[in-house]
Amino acid sequence: MKRFSLKYALLTYRLDQLWFPLAFWAFFVILTLLLNDQEINFDIARGYIGVATPLIGGVMAAYAILDDPAIELRFATPIRAAQILFERISLIFFIQAVNALAFIVFALFIGVDFAPLGNILNLHLSWIVPTIAMIALGTFGAILGAQTMIGSFLVGLVWIIQIIIRDAMTFNNWKYAYVFMGILNPRHPDLVSNQIALFAASAAFLFLTWLLLHRQERYI
């Protein structure tokens, strides 16, 4: 039994969760067109795909599971915790991916050169890894605290702290938890270790979220 419908997953998706990332996307596009400088365009492009996209994804993920008006009815059906988790956050990631890819296409179209970020794999890992990490953190925070606000607060806190102390994050052991290394320090010697560590942390957060989701009474 599949117990899934893409049609209804989309129909029950809150529209503000589409407008919110789209507004950011439009803002960065307009900014790029207004400033229209090749060097600045690159910074705007990497700022959008590798810094803004993870933030938006993380904040949206905090709302993904708990901000469901029919959550009690959903919990009374035999769908598994893993399905609820996957169904909700994959849609969030999909929206971020579409926006990031659309922005990359737009940037390439106006002549932005992404070569400083490395090859095509590195370019895409530079937004995929932090976006997944922030989505996992946002979901975990919300489920741990049983409040959407806690997830979005946690995402915002990690995001702002890492932006402020970004240079310090590249040294000592914090470098493995540095979410923006791929986009801001693409030539860092420990980039691969950083991305593996972030993937592992994301997997751990999602696993813990899955475990916590079994205690449905906390969320109704």
Which residues of this chain interact with other proteins, rule CB under 8 A? 1-5, 8, 11-12, 68-80, 214-217, 220
Q: Are 22 and 53 in contact (CB under 8 A)?
A: no
- The residue among 170 and 216 lying less far from other proteins, judged by its C-beta, is 216
CB of 73 to other proteins, least distance (A): 7
Q: Which residues contact 95 (CB under 8 A, 6 or more apart)?
A: 17, 18, 21, 60
Could you identify the residue written with the tokens 């940037």? 107
Q: Which is nearer to other proteins, 1 or 34 (CB)?
A: 1
C-alpha–C-alpha distance, residues 87 and 169, integer Å = 33
CB of residue 17 vs other proteins: minimum separation in angstroms?
Answer: 13
Tally of residues, the chain: 220
C-alpha span between 45 and 113 (Å, rounded): 10
User: Nearer to other proteins by C-beta: 164 or 220?
Assistant: 220
Q: Which is nearer to other proteins, 30 or 82 (CB)?
A: 82
Largest CA distance in the chain: 55
Q: Find the shortest distance in angstroms from Cβ 142 to other proteins.
A: 17
How far apart are the C-alpha atoms of 35 and 32, rounded to whole Å? 5
Query: How many helices (H) and strands (E) are present in the chain, helices listed first?
Result: 10, 0
With respect to other proteins, which residue has the nearer C-beta, 38 or 215?
A: 215
For other proteins, the closer CB: 8 or 171: 8
DSSP states of 165-194: TTTGGGSTGGGGG-TTHHHH-TT-TTHHHH
Least Å distance, CB 28 to other proteins, is 29
CB of 82 to other proteins, least distance (A): 12
The C-alpha atoms of residue 176 and residue 142 are separated, in whole angstroms, by: 23
Tokens 């997997």 belong to residue: 203
What minimum distance in Å lies between the beta carbon of 57 and other proteins?
23
